[in-house]
Structure 1
Amino acid sequence: MESWRSAARWLLAALLAAAGISHLTWGRRGYRIVVPDWSARTTGLSKDAIVVGSGVAELLLSGAVASIPRERSVGWLVAAFFVIVFPGNVHQWRTGRSAPMLRTDRARFIRLLLQPALIGWALWANR
């Protein structure tokens, strides 16, 4: 069982790193579409700053998952991040806006369904 958790942690770290890199590079412009207007107003940040901030957070979380194995608080932090970004995913689905790798309503809806799985994955892998 521990080897499964270890593999799940490394895969989660890789997923977070890839997402973080995409938020800071090739997908940065497209991800601004996903940021709801209310979040920019509420935080006082531009949509671009929110995208960059989420990319940096993903890279930091990736590093934590990879370098602090079996630390329960890391799993909770990653799960909390997935909860925090969920309104952006809902916004994207409701508005039908395309973003990198999410160009259809079906893809956007499946992304919503995957969010609880990501939360569970983060908690299970970092026990």
Structure 2
Amino acid sequence: MTSTLDKLEKKAPASVPRTIGRIGLGAVLVLAGVSHLTFARGDFQAQVPEWLPLDKDFVVLASGVVEISLGGALVALPKRRVLVGLVAAAFFIAIFPGNISQWVTRTPAFGLDTDSKRAVRLVFQPLLVLWALWSTGAWRALRRSK
């Protein structure tokens, strides 16, 4: 019996540009995850909203591990690209409040030391969601399943 996920995977288009996009996003996520664990840890801690009832260092380390895992999965699991694309898109949505918090609280990090720079950064999070959905074929597979 074929699962819904298997059906979605079969409806996901694959092409050279999508494959390059998927592997590129995977590489970006792995690099971002490594930076969470090493050289940019303090900047990422500055983005954790004050209202989040978790230790900032824990949030940064955990999100770094998630990013490395997602990045690796985007590269290593092409047959599950729709699932990984959906999870990556959900992850980008889940961390978006941190970007909004950085803008609202005017917290400098990553060289984002003006309201304008922080506002421009907000535009890039939805683009990451779209990148994940497009490069994995998840967007089209979901549309085709209806």
TM-score in same-fold range (> 0.5): yes
How far did residue 97 of structure 1 move? 0.8
Amino acid at match of 1:112: L
For the residue of structure 1 that corresponds to 2:107, the secondary structure is coil
For 2:111 and 2:135, locate their aligned partners in 1 and report how far apart those are by CA, in whole Å.
25
User: Could you tell which deviates more after superposition, 103-112 or 25-34?
Assistant: 103-112
**Runs of 5+ unmatched residues, structure 1:** none
How far did residue 101 of structure 1 move? 4.1
For 1:109 and 1:85, locate their aligned partners in 2 and report how far apart those are by CA, in whole Å.
16
TM-score when normalising by structure 2: 0.79
For the residue of structure 2 that corresponds to 1:30, the secondary structure is helix
User: Could you tell which deviates more after superposition, 52-61 or 96-105?
Assistant: 96-105
| Alpha-carbon spacing, 1:10–1:19, altered in 2? closer, same or farther (3 Å) | same
Residue 16 in structure 1 maps to residue 29 in structure 2 = yes
Specify the alignment match of 1:83 in structure 2. Answer: 93
**After TM superposition, what 4+ stretches of structure 1 lie above 3 angstroms from structure 2?**
none
Amino acid at match of 1:61: L
Amino acid at match of 1:97: T
Amino-acid identity (%) = 44
For 1:2 and 1:103, locate their aligned partners in 2 and report how far apart those are by CA, in whole Å.
39
How far did residue 29 of structure 1 move? 1.4
How far did residue 102 of structure 1 move? 2.7
Residue 57 in structure 1 maps to residue 66 in structure 2 = yes
Specify the alignment match of 1:122 in structure 2. Answer: 132
How far did residue 98 of structure 1 move? 1.1
Question: Aligned ranges for residues 36-51 of structure 1 at < 5 Å?
Answer: 36-39=49-52, 41=53, 45-51=54-60
Q: Alpha carbon RMSD of aligned pairs, Å?
A: 1.3
For 2:100 and 2:20, locate their aligned partners in 1 and report how far apart those are by CA, in whole Å.
29
Greater Cα radius of gyration, structure 1 or 2: 2
How far did residue 27 of structure 1 move? 0.7
Task: Give the paired residue count.
Answer: 123
Specify the alignment match of 1:7 in structure 2. Answer: 20
For 2:37 and 2:57, locate their aligned partners in 1 and report how far apart those are by CA, in whole Å.
10
How far did residue 37 of structure 1 move? 1.6
**Runs of 5+ unmatched residues, structure 2:** 1-13, 138-146
For 2:17 and 2:113, locate their aligned partners in 1 and report how far apart those are by CA, in whole Å.
32
Pairing partner for 2:76 from 51, 62, 67? 67
User: Could you tell which deviates more after superposition, 101-110 or 89-98?
Assistant: 101-110
